[in-house]
Amino acid sequence: MSTKQIVGKSGIIEWTNPTTRVDGSAFNPQSEIAGYRLYINGSALIDLFVGAGAQTSFDLKTLAAFQDFAAGNYTVSLSVLDTKGLESDPSDSDTFQVEEIFARPSKVSNFRVV
């Protein structure tokens, strides 16, 4: 059996919430953010609603899907979902690497000379 880990980085993504809309009008992240959409390699992976508006970080390793990631390099970005059902453009992206760690088998039991 194996587990997964992120190599060289903590696996925590961080961001600053927007305070304006694309037309320049004011945007209040505390009251207008409904959630976030997480993109992995350009595809939407999951919508995050925990702590929306006040949230500015998330640990990728807490995703249920994290243990399904194959070993390799990934690109991640994030968009904002507002309370009107609109989605921002995805953020600039960053990368992380997943490595598989194999656990050795348990020792034999009931060993004896007969």
Residues in the chain: 114
**Assigned token pair, 20:** 């304006």
In terms of DSSP H, where are the helices of 1-114? 29-32
Eight-state DSSP code of residue 105: P
In a domain, 114, yes or no: no
Share of the chain above pLDDT 90, in %: 55
Contacts of 49 (CB under 8 A, 6+ apart): 34, 35, 36
Q: What is the pLDDT of residue 106?
A: 77
| 109 within some domain | no
CB 53 within 8 A of CB 33: yes
Given a cut of 70, is residue 32 above it in pLDDT?
yes
pLDDT number for residue 86: 96
CATH code: domain of residue 26: 2.60.40.10
Assess whether pLDDT exceeds 70 at residue 104.
Answer: no
* Claim: this prediction has a pTM higher than 0.75: yes
Count of domains observed in the chain: 1
Query: What is residue 8's DSSP assignment?
Result: S
Give the residue, 95 or 65, on which the prediction is more confident.
95
**Residue 44, pLDDT score:** 92
